Amino acid sequence: MFLKKSVLLAAIVASSISLKAQNTTPAYFSRFDHLKMTRTADGILEVKFTTNNGPIVFTGKDHHDFVEAFSQIAQDRDNKIVILTGTGNEFFAQIDGPSLGDITNPREWDKTWWEGQQSLQNLSSIGVPVIAAVNGAATVHSEYALTSDIILASNDAYFQDYPHLTFGIVPGDGIQTVWKRAIGDYRSRYFLYTKQKISASEAKSMGVVAEVLPNNEALNKRAFELAKKLLTIPELTRRHMRTMFADDLRKDLLQQVGYGLAVEGISATDLKVAAEEKAKNK
Amino acid sequence: MFLKKSVLLAAIVASSISLKAQNTTPAYFSRFDHLKMTRTADGILEVKFTTNNGPIVFTGKDHHDFVEAFSQIAQDRDNKIVILTGTGNEFFAQIDGPSLGDITNPREWDKTWWEGQQSLQNLSSIGVPVIAAVNGAATVHSEYALTSDIILASNDAYFQDYPHLTFGIVPGDGIQTVWKRAIGDYRSRYFLYTKQKISASEAKSMGVVAEVLPNNEALNKRAFELAKKLLTIPELTRRHMRTMFADDLRKDLLQQVGYGLAVEGISATDLKVAAEEKAKNK
Amino acid sequence: MFLKKSVLLAAIVASSISLKAQNTTPAYFSRFDHLKMTRTADGILEVKFTTNNGPIVFTGKDHHDFVEAFSQIAQDRDNKIVILTGTGNEFFAQIDGPSLGDITNPREWDKTWWEGQQSLQNLSSIGVPVIAAVNGAATVHSEYALTSDIILASNDAYFQDYPHLTFGIVPGDGIQTVWKRAIGDYRSRYFLYTKQKISASEAKSMGVVAEVLPNNEALNKRAFELAKKLLTIPELTRRHMRTMFADDLRKDLLQQVGYGLAVEGISATDLKVAAEEKAKNK
Amino acid sequence: MFLKKSVLLAAIVASSISLKAQNTTPAYFSRFDHLKMTRTADGILEVKFTTNNGPIVFTGKDHHDFVEAFSQIAQDRDNKIVILTGTGNEFFAQIDGPSLGDITNPREWDKTWWEGQQSLQNLSSIGVPVIAAVNGAATVHSEYALTSDIILASNDAYFQDYPHLTFGIVPGDGIQTVWKRAIGDYRSRYFLYTKQKISASEAKSMGVVAEVLPNNEALNKRAFELAKKLLTIPELTRRHMRTMFADDLRKDLLQQVGYGLAVEGISATDLKVAAEEKAKNK
Amino acid sequence: MFLKKSVLLAAIVASSISLKAQNTTPAYFSRFDHLKMTRTADGILEVKFTTNNGPIVFTGKDHHDFVEAFSQIAQDRDNKIVILTGTGNEFFAQIDGPSLGDITNPREWDKTWWEGQQSLQNLSSIGVPVIAAVNGAATVHSEYALTSDIILASNDAYFQDYPHLTFGIVPGDGIQTVWKRAIGDYRSRYFLYTKQKISASEAKSMGVVAEVLPNNEALNKRAFELAKKLLTIPELTRRHMRTMFADDLRKDLLQQVGYGLAVEGISATDLKVAAEEKAKNK
Amino acid sequence: MFLKKSVLLAAIVASSISLKAQNTTPAYFSRFDHLKMTRTADGILEVKFTTNNGPIVFTGKDHHDFVEAFSQIAQDRDNKIVILTGTGNEFFAQIDGPSLGDITNPREWDKTWWEGQQSLQNLSSIGVPVIAAVNGAATVHSEYALTSDIILASNDAYFQDYPHLTFGIVPGDGIQTVWKRAIGDYRSRYFLYTKQKISASEAKSMGVVAEVLPNNEALNKRAFELAKKLLTIPELTRRHMRTMFADDLRKDLLQQVGYGLAVEGISATDLKVAAEEKAKNK
């Protein structure tokens, strides 16, 4: 195959240009309780969901914080690749229910409604490749993982949407959007209606997960290996690929999450109203 | 995992509220020749395609009736879950050709054109989960099954689009839309161009069918089991999930079926004109 | 099953009408250096990518010529079916890099930008079924194959996007569009980010390739066999099926390729600018 | 200008064919309390909004009934043209508030939510030209008028969205959709935010109203005159024009009204919750 | 205001670069019977609709030719600006009816159907600004003028859609698309349903026509004056502006014209069938 | 007219609830050089574009800062209404050219490209009504004003897009999107191609500006008067109205600005390349 050598050389040069060291640690790295951020000298940002160095126990404060956190990550051009991962043997699997406040109150829910939309818009506005390293149960907010470009999973990882139907409310926070795009109309409805567990290998056969790794060490190693490989793509090419790839998802999220979260809130309010009516009718 | 107990209790209460018995049998249950409708006390409506208690032999009158039938089903809030199924060992596989009238006449076809669009809009406007129990050959109007949320199939069931290319006309009545969404651009074209048969298990591997059951008894049992499970989802949550899930399909149907049925009619008319021309040229 | 006999007869008659022999060889068949076109008496046009009777070595002139070539093919109603294929053991795998001119110059690129969009619009405007017979490596412009209705592949064929990341530029010429439609968000990103090779049988399991044939003779034979089968579909039905099937893809291409090629051009220019800056900074 | 005479003759013949008299009065004409329907021998259906032969006082029952009423009108092919109008000097301007039930209760609202979407889908599915004759204040559900093809208004007529902001709830029932399409982003927001009155002549200058008539007699006369003119368009041409023209609006309604009514319901519920909270905090 | 001088200078230089003389006359200039093309030295291509040096009398051959003509104009990068205009006191107002062939025959119509779509796609693919100089009645194919960026009209010019309803067929060839975009839902329906004449000055007040000139000399002069002004915009900026501006229209045309022309053909066929039925029933 | 009194009372109560005083001044109010923010006790945030208390002279730093500024404004729920305005007799009319850096360098431009998209997404994500008070020339970034819900203008204000064609680059930063939505295809192209000035009163007749005020004092007074009126709309209703109204614009911006800014950057780079080529060719 003929290739124009000067162009190839230029590509090599260009990619090397972007690999200068970054020594500073931005202030936002330590501003968010349940996100641990570290960055390699060549710009690979690892974002870990975590609570007290263990698996994350998601709170209402996190829901609020993530809007800002994802915005800061996206604005910081020193991030060249982002890796999203969990801690220990859970990716994202616990909620501190009481911390969410009274989700049956429309005015309280309104905050959730706005934050939920904007955190996904900000997350998907990140202008560099994002790799999810799913290191265990992804049973809460798995849509975060699915906004990534490449999803790696350890053998014991699995996906499920646990909280919505356990609470009895509509799964409308974007989870409906990402899974429909990922596995199609019928599989995603079954997944959500029945709280189905999808294992890492099933997810691979469905085309969501790119690679299944034997354990979490291998997973972490592979995530960084892949990140380094993507770093060899010249800066602008790398940025434009990500943005181009995320385009359709962003539009779907913009279109569907406002509605989804609205009816999720309605279904929450209704639980309370129905209970009150039942109490009255006794 | 922490969960807010009061919310969970509310969810349990709320779902139980919707389970009150319905004793009435609406008039529309018996208004349509080839639809047999029965409803359980807790609101599971079974809609059976049938002709004289055997498999349905689809007629032009059915095509007209279904607009109204699906509208009535959708308007009736006592329906909490809908199961679509066939009779005996066929889901939907026979057409009474002559009953369709002269499909080569544009003015006759115009009725088909409007009814075809509206019956799918009404079917997909049903505001509660729909389960298709595909109990055998689905070779005619399989798009009805594919407007469902969850598709179960017995082991001997299969999908095919038999009539369009057998008649020599464009498969444009919505079948192009649902199958493209279900199995993608390339598989759906091959399916339609070659009148391919897709078995229940192939359909499962392609992500259309959720579960394959060994026989029709098991199929029916499983459909009701699943229906009962979905009934435990609180009323409003259940309704909004269905509507949210059906959204994109409805838009695609609105966008594509008018056009599809227009060119289907043109291709039918052309058969006659071509035959007349051939006769003249002899 | 009842079928209206007169309609069936009409269908048979109608399809036979379109099978009249075409003896003429249009001038455009021999106007394009790297396309070899031959047509059977019943209208099956085979379009072979080729350079000097061997596998094609794609040039900048081809990029320019294809706009016109695909337009002529689409305008010629004597083409009843089109088969796209390669030569020898390559479908499309070589580029004559220097022939592309200076892709880092925006004004030079502007031609590529317009041609790239229009050639895909013209190719997808072909109003009859298109079959791709992928006879080997499809590592360059595989989007041409994926604008087809049915893709057949020989056992040794494979798909890859080689040149973009080898040059270091954004894969934005439509390849992003067709592969996303074909294999979904996650698989297509992985395919492009990592220059993954997808074998014929993997492509079949992913739903892109319809049939894998043991070798190129079998492939060619099967392509013509299938073409003849599609010829039995009446003329207007056949034409409308193709057009209806290609609709969504055409819209996506119209929407995405102008943008994709714009950022591809930017990334090319940047390689040069970055190299110049590096040289200066030494 | 040359015209093919045989075609013109055919057009004249064809239009005359559709003008056969219809003597029957369908049962649905008298099934709905607040709709008065009469049809001319040549198929012009006049639908009058009315309560006790005076201007309509809209009720919750109407909201429910219109789903079915508009479905029946659309299904009846003997309707060749539809005229929508009001009674006396009001088009649609009064609501019987208490009849709406408790709109702050999500489960009650859910009915409104489904009916509101479906009544607009059914109204816009009418397959023949619809003329609105706006004979006075159109301050409630003016979206009904704006689903028409041609809007005529008497000099004293005006448009306003009175109830939503008077109740304090989101104007999300489709009124946001039709007015945005009709007068653009900025004018429609101002119209809704400020409860602006738009006079007939202003509406004409904005492109919504086609003709302003001096009084209601002239209005009625002109509506029928125009209807008769449209009747000279051949049957299928007339039907396809309407359907083609209504296409985009139907898609926008399908897309936006579910969401709009969801947030309208939330805003209603919130009024009650806020009032309860305020009472508690005293 | 501060401006970076070097950038401004570059702009001036860049625009001057594109103004080199083109001395050649491409072969396609004289290939099409009813298009007269001339080009200034600086690349302003004037395309005149004409028959025998008088106003154009549009034929079936033109309908076929325009696909190729517009494709050649778009491919030729020596065209820097395009002016579309008519001859004498008509822009486009006559049809040679018999030349269209038998539009009631679906197989004949199929050619019209494909050509109509593709000619508009090719016309709108022109990558440089297009100015329409409407020099008189635009009563046939006024959509050609409305694919332009800027529409100038002489005082006596007017717009109307004469042929469709005169023939009795659906105005579906794109005229519905451009006019809806240009003057909105309600005005465009009235325009088409009633064969309304819209004068140049009315069209200006509706936002379609940019400038009304007192007579055709002034019109022609102004068109070239404006063209020269647009030539001062640097080459790539000028090309990208046009393409960016035409984007939405192209998508709407791709989406709507296939359908529109399909139902237009159906309505034509129906005229014949209805006439035959009427003859039989006598 | 009947209205349910309890609902009306609830509405009054609910709106009053949101009117509690906010005494704190958030830190972000003073973080951005060229934005002056002040907030009334009842939550009306005035955002003034300004440089040294005079009219704003827009810099590259502002372009960067606005991403964060608009994000902070949107996140702060104490903002109940936002007023956007300028200073003195200019809304937004000056650019400090050199501060923009080298816009011809793709890597520099890449920042502009990302920031330009995200600042408009953040601005349009503001969840409360936004009023623009256009107090003079809006010749730079007028798209900021057009993301508002209601646009007021003083008599001497006018709109123009000055910088893009003065620099010689594509107006692709969103200005093409908002103006197309605001005044339609033809007027917006003319506006941009010819650097047309549109006066306040012309903009009113085109439907963009809601009210023209005699001078800037009246303008400011009216903006606050209107803001206070909108404050009487209950909190959730007010928030949902804005979000619902901004929906389509946000999607169009997401869809079009990435592309627009890409080709704007290409056109800038080309100016430099063209100048270099010209210099070489001398």
Give the active site residue among E68, E143, E264, E277.
E143
Residue B169 to residue C59: CA distance in whole angstroms: 42
Tell me whether strands B198-199 and B158-159 are parallel, antiparallel or unpaired.
Answer: antiparallel
Question: For residue D4, what pLDDT band results from cuts at 50, 70 and 90?
Answer: very low
The CATH number of whichever domain residue E182 belongs to comes to 3.90.226.10
In a domain, C2, yes or no: no
Q: Using alpha carbons only, how large is chain F's radius of gyration in Å?
A: 20
Residue D261 to residue B243: CA distance in whole angstroms: 13
* DSSP conformation class of F22: -
The mean per-residue pLDDT over the stretch D26-47 comes to: 97
Query: Where do we find the tokens 């008539």?
Result: D213
Which of A75, A114, A239 has the CB atom closest to F127's CB atom? A114
In a domain, F164, yes or no: yes
Give CA separation, F150 vs B62, B141, D28, in Å: 52, 50, 45
Judged by a CB distance cut-off of 8 A, whether residue B229 touches chain A is: yes
Judged by a CB distance cut-off of 8 A, whether residue F118 touches chain A is: yes
Q: Which of F72, F119, F122, F242 to mutate to test the interface with A (most CBs of A within 10 A)?
A: F122
Predicted local distance difference test score (pLDDT) of residue A20: 52
Handedness of CA E161, E167, E168, E173 (dihedral sign): negative
Residue A64 to residue A142: CA distance in whole angstroms: 17
In a domain, B14, yes or no: no
pTM of the model: 0.95
ipTM: 0.94
Chain F residues whose CB is inside 8 A of the E149 CB are 186, 189, 193
- Considering chain C, what percentage of its residues have pLDDT values greater than 70? 92
Q: Are A115 and A258 in contact (CB under 8 A)?
A: no
**Which residues are within 8 A (CB) of F280 and not within 5 positions of it... i.e. 6 or more apart?**
none
Q: Do A and C share at least 3 CB pairs under 8 Å?
A: yes
Give the DSSP H or E segment for A109: helix A106-124
Dihedral-angle region of residue E25 (phi above 0 means left; psi in -120 to 50 means alpha; beta otherwise): beta
The mean per-residue pLDDT over the stretch F6-35 comes to: 68
Number of DSSP helices (H) and strands (E) in chain A, helices first: 9, 12
Residue F6 to residue D282: CA distance in whole angstroms: 18
Q: Note whether E110 contacts C67, CB cutoff 8 Å.
A: no
Query: Where do we find the tokens 């005082």?
Result: E155
Give the residue with greater pLDDT, F273 vs C151. Answer: C151
Question: For residue C22, what pLDDT band results from cuts at 50, 70 and 90?
Answer: low
> Number of CB pairs < 8 Å for E and F?
128
Number of domains in chain E: 1
Which of D265, D273, D274 has the CB atom closest to A266's CB atom? D265
Question: For residue F206, what pLDDT band results from cuts at 50, 70 and 90?
Answer: very high
Residue C87 structure tokens? 């030569």
The mean per-residue pLDDT over the stretch E161-177 comes to: 97
Q: C161-193 pLDDT, tens per residue?
A: 999 999 999 999 999 999 999 999 999 999 999
- In sequence order, what DSSP letters do the residues of D142-210 get, joined into one string? THHHHTSSEEEEETT-EE---HHHHHT----SSHHHHHHHHHHHHHHHHHHHTT--EEHHHHHHTTS-S
* CA-wise closest residue to D147 among D116, D115, D181, D114: D181
Q: Note whether D236 contacts B118, CB cutoff 8 Å.
A: no
* CA-wise closest residue to D143 among D31, D32, D256: D256
Residue A153 to residue A104: CA distance in whole angstroms: 35
The residue range of the domain holding C190 is: 25-269
Neighbours of E170 (CB within 10 A): 29
The mean per-residue pLDDT over the stretch D157-178 comes to: 98
> Would you say residue D251 has pLDDT above 90?
yes
Handedness of CA D11, D12, D14, D15 (dihedral sign): positive
> Would you say residue B12 has pLDDT above 60?
no
In a domain, C15, yes or no: no
In a domain, A192, yes or no: yes
Q: 3-state class of D90 per DSSP?
A: strand
Q: 3-state class of C233 per DSSP?
A: coil
Give the active site residue among B115, B143, B202, B217.
B143
Residue F225 structure tokens? 């008067």
Q: Are A183 and C186 in contact (CB under 8 A)?
A: no
Residue A74 structure tokens? 């996206």
Q: Note whether F258 contacts A247, CB cutoff 8 Å.
A: yes
Residue F52 to residue F34: CA distance in whole angstroms: 8
Judged by a CB distance cut-off of 8 A, whether residue D107 touches chain B is: yes
Give CA separation, A1 vs C56, C257, E47, in Å: 11, 25, 44
* CA-wise closest residue to B252 among D251, E6, E129, F148: D251
Judged by a CB distance cut-off of 8 A, whether residue A268 touches chain B is: yes
Question: For residue F23, what pLDDT band results from cuts at 50, 70 and 90?
Answer: low
> Would you say residue B20 has pLDDT above 90?
no
- In sequence order, what DSSP letters do the residues of F61-99 get, joined into one string? HHHHHHHHHHHHHHH-TT--EEEEE-BTTEEE-EE-GGG
> Would you say residue E257 has pLDDT above 70?
yes
B158-159 β-sheet, strand order = B90-92, B137-138, B158-159, B198-199
Question: For residue D210, what pLDDT band results from cuts at 50, 70 and 90?
Answer: very high
* Stretch 35-64 of chain E: residues touching chain D, C-beta under 8 Å: 57
Question: For residue C23, what pLDDT band results from cuts at 50, 70 and 90?
Answer: low
Q: Are A159 and A197 in contact (CB under 8 A)?
A: yes
Judged by a CB distance cut-off of 8 A, whether residue D18 touches chain B is: no
Q: Tell me which residues of chain A have a pLDDT lower than 50.
A: 1-9, 12-14, 16-19, 21
* Neighbour-count burial of B199, counting CB atoms closer than 10 A to its CB (0-12 exposed, 13-18 middle, 19+ buried): middle
Residue E119 to residue E42: CA distance in whole angstroms: 26
Q: Are F210 and F152 in contact (CB under 8 A)?
A: yes
> Number of CB pairs < 8 Å for A and C?
128
Residue E16 to residue E9: CA distance in whole angstroms: 11
* Neighbour-count burial of A21, counting CB atoms closer than 10 A to its CB (0-12 exposed, 13-18 middle, 19+ buried): exposed
Question: For residue C20, what pLDDT band results from cuts at 50, 70 and 90?
Answer: low
Q: How many CA atoms lie within 13 A of C62 on its CB side?
A: 20
Which of A229, A230, A233 has the CB atom closest to C168's CB atom? A233
Give the active site residue among D46, D90, D115, D143.
D143
Q: E111-130 pLDDT, tens per residue?
A: 999 999 999 999 999 999 99
* Stretch 59-78 of chain D: residues touching chain F, C-beta under 8 Å: none
Predicted local distance difference test score (pLDDT) of residue A190: 98
In a domain, D9, yes or no: no
Query: Where do we find the tokens 């115009």?
Result: B110
**How close is the nearest chain D Cα to the Cα of F278, in Å?**
46
- Position C178: which residue type? V
Q: Are B99 and C5 in contact (CB under 8 A)?
A: no
Q: F136-167 pLDDT, tens per residue?
A: 999 999 999 999 999 999 999 999 999 999 99
Specify the range with the lowest mean pLDDT, choosing from B165-179, C1-15, F233-247. Answer: C1-15
Residue in chain A lying closest to F128 (CA): A114
Mean pLDDT (chain E) is 93
Q: Is B143 a catalytic residue?
A: yes
Question: For residue D96, what pLDDT band results from cuts at 50, 70 and 90?
Answer: very high
Judged by a CB distance cut-off of 8 A, whether residue B210 touches chain C is: no
Chain C residues whose CB is inside 8 A of the A8 CB are 166-168
